[in-house]
Structure 1
């Protein structure tokens, strides 16, 4: 499968060795009744990316790509929250409309219904920004022969970018699906995309859900 990317670039992907990473589609980040909505953050930018994310997810499933999800979440006693964030990130563990923020078992930490994992699609819980941080994700991917990641989710500059950078260091080829990612401040999203171009292909490629769906459609017709 040849996936067209921006700036005239493209990448050859073996569907059997390619995975779709659905990063932190969590209720507290995006739903009006979640913590971000209650605080008045501009969740509209995140909501606007959902149709693209759903398009990518549907196309990946139809083509038989490996799909996994992530959630940023911590133990109820916050024992796995690192020292720096324990001191400075007072939001984690605070109470919100859907329970304690980013705490395992709370409603706000769950993946939203619009992006609910299907049976057999693993959910990687991470006590940090990167999906590779102290998780089994690298093993999960390597035992399946995965060498290419398509990344989408929330937020572009934080958990998506952190996961992408970790993946690149581990030797994975990465494609950011630009329209299926979002940040509360669009400038943060755009600056992260610009960084992808700053080192040539060293950080990977930038594409979108429509290009992905078109490439995958050719595999199933």
Structure 2
């Protein structure tokens, strides 16, 4: 069985039961004028993971393994936006308001689309989710169980919010998850560091972490 020399111990996975998850690599979170920018975040801190995720996507595609893309966004009528979420952080531009890339975090608007480097290709699953957790009010769980996927390589933004929320919730449902350290970023580097440590603490209570080079090398050797 293939394995990655991960933390806190090697991550073994069945090649036919594995998928790459790319969380919220959207313009609203990664580019000027999006939701993250309206909150005053330093979006430059996100940039390093974009080419890393592109490299991982290429490796998974070459190996013929599934890739799942998520995007956090809401219906145009905003019926799935809790008031507490719309008001969070006191942003300059709230969810649903008009911004430089269309209505903020609204499905179908330019800002909710993916950055070009990490965009899905035909045949790859795209999940529009109304919250931080990819398993909340989506078909993510059904997709994984139907295809007998048990092991997830997780990437995306941000480490301390949607990424770790998805990883924790997937772990609760029985999936083995490894977070690719250089394939995820936060607007706050110290939050990323603490999150990585927390996930693997207590003998990997939530899961594993590894480097992208280890993943690419492993897949290339199969």
Q: TM-score range by the shorter chain?
A: over 0.9
Unmatched runs of 5 consecutive residues or more in structure 1: none
Post-superposition CA distance 1:57-115 (Å, at most 9, x none): 11111111111100000011210113432454662222221011111111000011111
**Cα distance 1:158–1:217, how it changes in 2: closer, same or farther (>3 A)?**
same
Contact 1:38 1:97 in 2 (8 A): no
Aligned length: 218
Where do residues 16-95 of structure 1 align in structure 2 (5 Å cutoff)?
16-37=16-37, 41-88=41-88, 91-95=94-98
Q: What value does the CA root-mean-square deviation take over the aligned residues?
A: 1.6
Q: Which residue does the alignment assign to 2:217? A: 214
- Residues 1:159 and 2:170 aligned together: no
1:117 and 2:136 equivalent?
A: no
Q: Following the alignment from structure 2 to structure 1, what is the Cα–Cα distance between the partners of residues 208 and 27?
A: 28
The 1:40/1:76 distance shift into structure 2, 3 A limit, reads: same
Off by >6 Å, runs of 4+ in structure 1: none
Question: After superposition, what is the alpha-carbon deviation per residue over 1:126-147, rounded to whole angstroms, capped at 9, x for unaligned?
Answer: 0110110011100011111000
What SS does the corresponding residue of 2:204 show, helix, strand or coil? coil
1:106 alignment counterpart: 109
- SS of 2:221's equivalent in the other structure is helix
In 2, the alpha carbon distance for the partners of 1:132 and 1:202 equals: 19
For normalisation by structure 2, the TM-score amounts to 0.92
Gaps of 5+ in 2: none
Contact 1:35 1:97 in 2 (8 A): no
Give the SS at the match of 1:139.
helix
TM-score, normalised via structure 1 length: 0.93
